[in-house]
Structure 1
Amino acid sequence: MGKSRTNKFRRPQFTAEGLSVTAVKEMEQDHGEVFDGVDSPAGELLEKLQSPSADVREFACASISRVVQQSQTIPGFLQRDAVRRLGPLMLDRSLAVRETATGALRNLSACGGHEVCDDMVKQDVMTPLTALLRETNAALSIKGQKNTVEDVANEAVNLLWNLWWTWLTHCSGHWLQVWLQHLCCHIIYRFLLPHNVNRSFTLLIPVLIVCFVLRPLTGSVWNLKSSLPTARQAQTLNALMATLSQCLELDAGTLIPQLHQAEVAQSATASEAGNMEDHQVAAGNMAVEEMEDDDEEGVGPRRNGKATKIDKDFSDLLPRGKEELREATALLTAQQTSLEIIVNMCCSDDPSDDEWEEASSSDESEMCPDGLSEGNTSLLSPLCLSAEVHGALINHNIPEKVLKKTKFPSSEAMDVCRHNPTWKILMKKMHQVQYRALTCLHNMLSTMDAESLGGAAALQAVAQHLSTLVFSPPEIPKEEEFLEAVTSAMRSLLQIIAYMKVPQCTTPQQMMSLSEAATRCDVVSVRVNALAILGITGSTLAKEKGTAETLQMIGNALLQVATKDANLVVCGEALDALFDVFADGDEAERAAENINLLSALKAIQPVFKAKIRKEGKGKYSPEQLCVMDNIKVNLRRFIGYLETVVKK
């Protein structure tokens, strides 16, 4: 994909070694010889950093940049406090000095390894660096200033990347705290998104941030939010949510065919020109070639000890390979990661073992009059989102964007991948995005109030959408990960709908077919979700007239699972669903009598208790044992309730 040519800021010309020509001549006059970076003492160059002459300061920075590419020289600079001396020059009044000072620190970070990077962070290099990025962002917003600061910005972002990569590979709590303290995600996002003009890669800026900044933090950045100062938490949350929102805004179904079309066009052009060079090599060298075409001023400090041209894009942050395919892969990876982060945001904290032990008390005084524990109904589970998180999700339209991602991948994008071997890897990734979106929807439905999600009408639309996903294909999809995600979402949605007394858009027969498909799945959570869905459906039907026959069908299905499933958690869920369906109502009483529910439960009771005693501690967690203990108590109480019904 091509890059548009822009007018460039004319800064002092550099030699092939990265030295200012003007500065070299001046130093030659002062010292009588051209500087040999390896042999000259670090102290002399560091002293030049304090010179009143901008050219001399620039020369000293450029010289340090070249010298530190030879790793044996780095200790000498570090011993003389080079980081603290170079840091303030990133904010020098001369843009050329800013660029070369930042470039020197960039090379120091690239050539010195993680120990040097760690030392740089400890010496507070992040404070001037983040200040530089903020100033650069402001300058780029001013008309006519863009080209004067692009080179400075390039060095600053690359230095930031080197420091971040070190944290990635040698992570510590100190590094993450520094990163979050300086809100680097927010800085990069605000710096890049409005101003990048070099290529259509602009659309993928939030993708880069998610892939290479947020993805490694999926499990930790949210957990460590409390370590930030209170004033910073809101800023961090908004910056994070803005990035996730922008990433989810992108339509992979449209972009993937466009990217593939661009790849085909470039391949055709290369073939016509007789270019036998591998396309990915050409793409990797593209930025260098354009810089050479412009002029010779673009020489600057680089990684790996080589003085090469400064490139202007961020494709080097992606895995090597075909450029368009890499962009498509990064897009899907970033959207999956964004959804995973939102899932974590919408999760309540797990109760401690002590809390579970307290909840597992079988004291009958905690039971309701009808024999069911108060904690048994998940319809009344408290919402767990803070006002800040709740507001951020709504303000950035996250629920709406998540819902769009729950759709099946577009047929056009799937066709592109299906008919091109190298692109087939994206098919699974597109499905992964859908699965994560469904899980995300489940968590939002579990933790957000109905009005925030759009009220009854919106919830009915979501229900219709989910039923379309499950029941529109010729047969219910068998993919386990899909079934787990979609049944979780349906379970949460049906709980809300039942609580609000909103009419369901699915028939009991459809729910039965889903349950039958789910019971053949090896994933326990899928079977549990399907049983819960049947329980919610049945408890709603029990309040309506003429539903006894349908309740009998549901009851028989639940009894079958409670009797035969080898997993105690699944058996317990089937019993729990039976309690919900047959707890009250004339239709429920009639159906219970027709299927001999009382006799069936009396036969199940001793078997269930024995399994808990024999298998419980060895195979199940304390949390699961707590739930089964409550179900065991509720089973006894429910049998007592049914006996009173029979005697009436």
Structure 2
Amino acid sequence: MGKVRKHKTRSGKKPLPNDDNEDEEQLPTDGKENAIQTILDQLQAANVEEKYCGLQTLGLLIESPENIEQVLNRDLVKVVAPLLVDAASSVRNAAAGMLRNLSTVKLEVCDALMEQDVMTPLICYFHEHAETWTPDINSATKDEDIDTFIQNVNLLLNLCEGSELAIKYMGQSRILDILPRYLDISVFNNDIVAAVLQCLFVVVEDNPIAMEKIKSNCEKQLQTLLSLESGEPDAYLLKTLSAGVIISTCRGKLATLPINVVNQIISILAKTLSVDHRFVCSQLSNQVPLGDTSAKEEPPQSKLTQLLNNQIKSAMQIVDAQQSAIEIIANICSNDGKILLILLEIQIYVMKVHSWIFFSFFIVDGDENNSNESSESEEADEELIQGEEESIHVEDMLPTNLLEALINLEIFDKVWARSQLPAHNVMMILKEYEGTQLLCKKLSNLQTRALLCVNNMLSSLPIEHLGGINAVYKIWVDAGKLVFKQDSGAVLLESATAVMRAALDKIKLKENGNNMECNLFSDLALSDIEMMLTGIRECQVAEIRANLIRMIGILALLLVNKINDITSNVICTVTEFILEQAHKENEVWVLAEAIDTIVDLYSEDETDALAAKVNLVDKLMVLTPILKNKARQQKKLPKEYKVLVSTAVSNLPRFIRYKKDRISKL
């Protein structure tokens, strides 16, 4: 249950310059303390070359993750940060690159950077060096100054992405008044404009102060960028990011935008996602030198090398543009309407449980009048429930014109296509060449974001516009291949299992509305789900466990109206497995998910005999105090998890009483 959280991506690292001395790359462990002290001395020296050398050495040091904690503990950031406003442009550039690289490691590092007051000199940089700066074509440091500005913008982006305090400090500064001037594409190059747009794309979201400033200061520039006619990769990126910033300034409510702007935005997203990233990468792999072990020190660039670098840059711009487009669509399809629907579904479920309680209580009591009252109450509840179910559809939560645009431009198919990585041999070539290793990371991020977006779109679009029930089933199968047949990382697994769960939810909803016409899972046997059960047992990530538990529960539920010896065996095995996992579960919200899955599975009266067979009531009674105790111990939960836990705690005793009464009459 609940909205899938959007996971944001870090800006890629930019290698710091390296003059010479390969010995600096490997620092002996026993000499690390001395090396850090040497770096500190160099950073605090008056000589420009000494400071620059210290920054280079520090940049090499943080390339090894095991050194990060030591660097932070020694407060090196406190020494480096003021160098962002050093008088020497080379020192400013090296400091900005090093801090930006450090901020990409993980969100927790951004907290450490904030604690060591990186924001004060960063704000000073923008106030002192960016308020009126324009690249001077005659300046010997022009390229260096441009790179420094871009690095600092990306550093600001990462800090704001990882820290609410950074957003607060930025709001109190003049940065939001300074950055809009860099959206003038007639003055600043595409790299500068793209960096600023990426920063605003992150900063403006859910930030009313930033929304108003950008809306009032940038409307003309954003519209100009939105209307770029070029079909080059950098133009795709600029147009897509501009669309994202415009949507953020209206709090994600596209209905508040003029219809022509909405159509323009959706058209841009469709065109961006129409580019075949697999083909682009395949073409690039043909140009990449094979067997390259690229040393840190690069040879002088030839025309061929420059051409290759331009191709790499274009490929990364395409992937960045597509990821931004996918994040925009994911946000559009996971707005408050989805959460509202979930809450309504919970209310309907609670009403069902109440009607069960009234029914079972009055039958046990034996009072005919009370029984009649119960029946009338049950009928009234059922009418209300049916009325709610008939009137509520997830796709109704999207504005009609937006829904039509998503369907007509085949956005879902385009997003799903972006979840497919280039061919294995292409990926291997790109991973081996140092210049394309960052592209490989971007491709993996694109795949993950595409899957999360598919998850949201499965819930938001009518099934007939997703290709029908068979197409949704194929998505379930293909997502399953990522989960169970590849050595996938935790982030990809979470995204893929979310897609599998959403696909089954869609199939279940379709079946319930079509008299169980679909027989996709009618031949499902125990051997077909053994891999899933093994995956749940071995899974260390709570979100993935929850997705898999809910998924096998839905699979069992799809078999309830097709009871035979095989399907009964599957349902009972799934039930016993979920109950067994519930006893082992440490996270209360995952425990609640497991219990909710069982209650959903056995809510139909046709399951009474199966409930008796697995001794369901007694096993749920054992779980009741466990759930309550964990709920008391784990109170600090996200809002959607709190709703899930409180619903499970409230409804489990009621369901037990209802099912116990039903089983007693068998």
TM-score band, normalised by shorter chain: 0.5 to 0.7
Q: Where do residues 472-491 of structure 1 align in structure 2 (5 Å cutoff)?
A: 473=485, 477-491=487-501
Report the counterpart of residue 56 of structure 1 in structure 2. Answer: none
Quick one: which of 503, 512, 515 aligns to 2:519?
503
Please report how far the alpha carbon of residue 533 of structure 1 lies from its aligned counterpart in structure 2 after TM superposition: 0.9
Please report how far the alpha carbon of residue 621 of structure 1 lies from its aligned counterpart in structure 2 after TM superposition: 3.7
Please report how far the alpha carbon of residue 554 of structure 1 lies from its aligned counterpart in structure 2 after TM superposition: 0.5
Report the counterpart of residue 429 of structure 1 in structure 2. Answer: 442
Please report how far the alpha carbon of residue 385 of structure 1 lies from its aligned counterpart in structure 2 after TM superposition: 1.3
Report the counterpart of residue 259 of structure 1 in structure 2. Answer: 284
Matched residues in 1 for 2:581 and 2:536: separation?
11
The verdict on how the C-alpha distance between 1:412 and 1:347 changes in structure 2, with shifts beyond 3 A counting, is: same
Report the counterpart of residue 205 of structure 1 in structure 2. Answer: 235
Please report how far the alpha carbon of residue 328 of structure 1 lies from its aligned counterpart in structure 2 after TM superposition: 2.2
Does 1:220 find its partner at 2:284? no
Question: Per-residue displacement from partner, 1:531-567 (whole Å, max 9, x unpaired)?
Answer: 1112211111111121221111001111012211011
TM-score, normalisation: structure 1: 0.59
Quick one: which of 278, 295, 300 aligns to 1:277?
300
Matched residues in 2 for 1:278 and 1:626: separation?
59
Matched residues in 1 for 2:324 and 2:194: separation?
22
Quick one: which of 444, 454, 457 aligns to 2:467?
454
Matched residues in 2 for 1:541 and 1:628: separation?
27
Please report how far the alpha carbon of residue 280 of structure 1 lies from its aligned counterpart in structure 2 after TM superposition: 8.7
Question: Which letter maps to 1:277?
Answer: P
Report the counterpart of residue 238 of structure 1 in structure 2. Answer: 263
Question: Which letter maps to 2:645?
Answer: M
Let me know the Cα RMSD of the aligned residues: 4.6
The verdict on how the C-alpha distance between 1:365 and 1:118 changes in structure 2, with shifts beyond 3 A counting, is: closer
Matched residues in 2 for 1:640 and 1:363: separation?
14
Contact 1:543–1:585, Cα closer than 8 Å, also in 2: no
Report the counterpart of residue 137 of structure 1 in structure 2. Answer: none
Whose radius of gyration is greater, 1 or 2? Answer: 1
Report the counterpart of residue 300 of structure 1 in structure 2. Answer: none
The verdict on how the C-alpha distance between 1:204 and 1:166 changes in structure 2, with shifts beyond 3 A counting, is: closer
Quick one: which of 413, 427, 438 aligns to 2:426?
413
Matched residues in 2 for 1:641 and 1:607: separation?
20
Contact 1:340–1:436, Cα closer than 8 Å, also in 2: yes
The verdict on how the C-alpha distance between 1:263 and 1:584 changes in structure 2, with shifts beyond 3 A counting, is: closer
Please report how far the alpha carbon of residue 115 of structure 1 lies from its aligned counterpart in structure 2 after TM superposition: 7.8
Quick one: which of 528, 551, 558 aligns to 2:571?
551
Question: Per-residue displacement from partner, 1:440-463 (whole Å, max 9, x unpaired)?
Answer: 111011111112323334334433
Please report how far the alpha carbon of residue 218 of structure 1 lies from its aligned counterpart in structure 2 after TM superposition: 9.4
Does 1:608 find its partner at 2:615? no
Quick one: which of 595, 600, 610 aligns to 1:580?
600
Report the counterpart of residue 65 of structure 1 in structure 2. Answer: none
Name the SS for the 2:465 alignment partner: coil
Identity across the alignment (%): 21
Report the counterpart of residue 413 of structure 2 in structure 1. Answer: 400
Question: Which letter maps to 1:558?
Answer: I
- How many residue pairs match? The answer is 451
Query: Which deviates more, 495-504 or 112-121?
Result: 112-121
The verdict on how the C-alpha distance between 1:280 and 1:637 changes in structure 2, with shifts beyond 3 A counting, is: farther
Q: Where do residues 13-92 of structure 1 align in structure 2 (5 Å cutoff)?
A: none
Please report how far the alpha carbon of residue 494 of structure 1 lies from its aligned counterpart in structure 2 after TM superposition: 0.9
Matched residues in 1 for 2:179 and 2:653: separation?
66
Please report how far the alpha carbon of residue 281 of structure 1 lies from its aligned counterpart in structure 2 after TM superposition: 12
Please report how far the alpha carbon of residue 635 of structure 1 lies from its aligned counterpart in structure 2 after TM superposition: 1.2
The verdict on how the C-alpha distance between 1:518 and 1:187 changes in structure 2, with shifts beyond 3 A counting, is: farther
Matched residues in 2 for 1:120 and 1:418: separation?
35
Please report how far the alpha carbon of residue 206 of structure 1 lies from its aligned counterpart in structure 2 after TM superposition: 0.8
Matched residues in 2 for 1:203 and 1:482: separation?
26
Does 1:597 find its partner at 2:622? no
Contact 1:417–1:424, Cα closer than 8 Å, also in 2: yes
Question: Which letter maps to 1:494?
Answer: L
Report the counterpart of residue 520 of structure 1 in structure 2. Answer: 538
Question: Which letter maps to 1:550?
Answer: V
Matched residues in 1 for 2:610 and 2:132: separation?
78
Quick one: which of 526, 533, 550 aligns to 1:532?
550
Matched residues in 2 for 1:362 and 1:584: separation?
12
Please report how far the alpha carbon of residue 485 of structure 1 lies from its aligned counterpart in structure 2 after TM superposition: 1.0
Contact 2:319–2:446, Cα closer than 8 Å, also in 1: yes
Q: Structure 1 stretches of 5 or more lacking a match?
A: 1-105, 130-153, 195-201, 268-274, 287-320
Please report how far the alpha carbon of residue 585 of structure 1 lies from its aligned counterpart in structure 2 after TM superposition: 5.0
Report the counterpart of residue 90 of structure 2 in structure 1. Answer: none
Question: Per-residue displacement from partner, 1:92-126 (whole Å, max 9, x unpaired)?
Answer: xxxxxxxxxxxxxx99772699989959989xx99
Matched residues in 2 for 1:519 and 1:193: separation?
52
The verdict on how the C-alpha distance between 1:629 and 1:360 changes in structure 2, with shifts beyond 3 A counting, is: farther
Report the counterpart of residue 580 of structure 2 in structure 1. Answer: 560
Quick one: which of 341, 353, 356 aligns to 1:369?
356
Q: Where do residues 270-419 of structure 1 align in structure 2 (5 Å cutoff)?
A: 277-279=300-302, 283=306, 322-349=309-336, 367-369=354-356, 382-383=394-395, 384-419=397-432
Please report how far the alpha carbon of residue 428 of structure 1 lies from its aligned counterpart in structure 2 after TM superposition: 2.7
TM-score, normalisation: structure 2: 0.58
Question: Which letter maps to 2:543?
Answer: S
Matched residues in 1 for 2:333 and 2:628: separation?
35
Matched residues in 1 for 2:305 and 2:531: separation?
54
Question: Which letter maps to 2:228?
Answer: F
Question: Which letter maps to 1:331?
Answer: I
Question: Per-residue displacement from partner, 1:190-244 (whole Å, max 9, x unpaired)?
Answer: 43326xxxxxxx3553134336x457x4993462556x9x5x4323322222222
The verdict on how the C-alpha distance between 1:219 and 1:608 changes in structure 2, with shifts beyond 3 A counting, is: farther
The verdict on how the C-alpha distance between 1:253 and 1:530 changes in structure 2, with shifts beyond 3 A counting, is: same
The verdict on how the C-alpha distance between 1:430 and 1:164 changes in structure 2, with shifts beyond 3 A counting, is: closer
Name the SS for the 1:323 alignment partner: helix
Matched residues in 2 for 1:439 and 1:461: separation?
17
Quick one: which of 82, 95, 110 aligns to 2:134?
110
Please report how far the alpha carbon of residue 511 of structure 1 lies from its aligned counterpart in structure 2 after TM superposition: 3.9
Matched residues in 2 for 1:492 and 1:117: separation?
39
Matched residues in 1 for 2:190 and 2:313: separation?
23
Matched residues in 2 for 1:479 and 1:244: separation?
28
Contact 1:237–1:392, Cα closer than 8 Å, also in 2: no
Please report how far the alpha carbon of residue 468 of structure 1 lies from its aligned counterpart in structure 2 after TM superposition: 4.2
The verdict on how the C-alpha distance between 1:157 and 1:513 changes in structure 2, with shifts beyond 3 A counting, is: same
Contact 1:218–1:341, Cα closer than 8 Å, also in 2: no
Contact 2:420–2:447, Cα closer than 8 Å, also in 1: yes
Matched residues in 2 for 1:369 and 1:323: separation?
67
Question: Which letter maps to 1:176?
Answer: I
Report the counterpart of residue 493 of structure 1 in structure 2. Answer: 503
Question: Which letter maps to 1:233?
Answer: P
Contact 1:548–1:590, Cα closer than 8 Å, also in 2: no
Question: Per-residue displacement from partner, 1:74-101 (whole Å, max 9, x unpaired)?
Answer: xxxxxxxxxxxxxxxxxxxxxxxxxxxx
Q: Structure 2 stretches of 5 or more lacking a match?
A: 1-129, 137-148, 150-172, 205-209, 293-297, 360-380, 512-517
Matched residues in 2 for 1:412 and 1:606: separation?
54
Contact 1:117–1:163, Cα closer than 8 Å, also in 2: no
Matched residues in 1 for 2:301 and 2:191: separation?
31
The verdict on how the C-alpha distance between 1:451 and 1:352 changes in structure 2, with shifts beyond 3 A counting, is: closer
